[in-house]
Amino acid sequence: DTGVSQDPRHKITKRGQNVTFRCDPISEHNRLYWYRQTLGQGPEFLTYFQNEAQLEKSRLLSDRFSAERPKGSFSTLEIQRTEQGDSAMYLCASSLSVSTDTQYFGPGTRLTVL
């Protein structure tokens, strides 16, 4: 068990650019979650996948955000036309199939939009 991994760990971009983050869950975990954490706050739910199906998207996820999980393995989170307000830590978590199984978090990707 190598844990949840995320890439890159840090990303600095200019406003208006597109960015993509990757998350690799724990191998036997069917569920994958994305959260956003801003300074001084707890993580906020963005979206989650059961295998390859995206089952819910938070209202926090504007049209500029898209997430995919092809083949139910790794997931990508893309932000188009980044804005300074997108600066945050983007956390990925994974869990087994049952809704209340414990979620295990990755190290996060810290995005800074200049």
Task: Tell which positions 70-99 bind another protein, by CB under 8 A.
Answer: 91, 93, 99
Asked whether position 69 contacts another protein by CB under 8 A, the answer is: no
- The two structure tokens encoding residue 11: 């990303």
Min separation Cβ 81 and another protein, Å: 26
Min separation Cβ 16 and another protein, Å: 28
Of the candidate residues 20, 26, 44, 74, the single one contacting another protein (CB under 8 A) = 44
Q: Are 9 and 110 in contact (CB under 8 A)?
A: yes
Asked whether position 54 contacts another protein by CB under 8 A, the answer is: no
Min separation Cβ 28 and another protein, Å: 17
Of the candidate residues 1, 14, 40, 53, the single one contacting another protein (CB under 8 A) = 40
Give the SS3 label for residue 71: helix
Residues forming contacts to another protein in the complex (CB under 8 A) are 4, 31, 33, 35, 40-45, 48, 56, 91, 93, 99-100, 102-108
